[in-house]
Amino acid sequence: VSNAGVGMVGPLECQSLAAMQSLMDTNFFGLVRLVKEVLPDMKRRRGGHIVVISSIMGLQIVFNDIYAASKFAVEGFCESLVVQARRFNVAISLVEPGPVTTEFETKLYEEAERADYSQTDPETAEIFTQLYLRNSRDVFASLGQTPEDIAEHTLRVLAAPRPPFRHRTNAAFTPMAALKRADPGGSIVTGAFYQLVFEHGAVLRLGLR
């Protein structure tokens, strides 16, 4: 089970390249290093199961650019690897939680509220601090799962006779995930996210509450 991960939120202009590279080293290359260690023996034994804790944040979540990129990388890596792994009777499963209420997220968002956003333009800084952070609190309060809940989902994937390749833990995100896969051009889902954030934010917050 690969579960290592770090987060990053905020306007892109305010993130250093060193911090971005560090995040990718943990979230993506940490997984790659682990798989390189365990996969050869699984191939020799013609059996094994690699479970990767990914994230629904690989969807299209504003102000999570680098974190989302790391999860896109994880998903692409596993989508490629699962085909050859199947030849050796090795299962690969992606567990995709939504928001999970832990000290990890609490600390991340507390730091974001205190951070300096002078390196970006005033409009972007206001959107992030007044709109994104405000909505995020409501999202975690309304849709956040407990670590124990995620552990139970992971256990079910591990124990499945025929392990699924992808398992989402929060049904609330299923419609947006389905819309993205059904919209090859990307305009519908991009428009939907834009409207949720910028045009119907009050309705979104009311619905979450």
Q: Which residues are catalytic?
A: 67
Give the list of residues 6+ apart from residue 89 with CB closer than 8 angstroms, or none: 46, 47, 48
Token pair recorded at residue 152:
């139970």
Residue 45's nearest CA partner among 1, 94, 91 is: 91
Question: What are the residue ranges of helices labelled H in 28-132?
Answer: 29-45, 65-87, 103-114, 122-126
DSSP annotation of 26: H
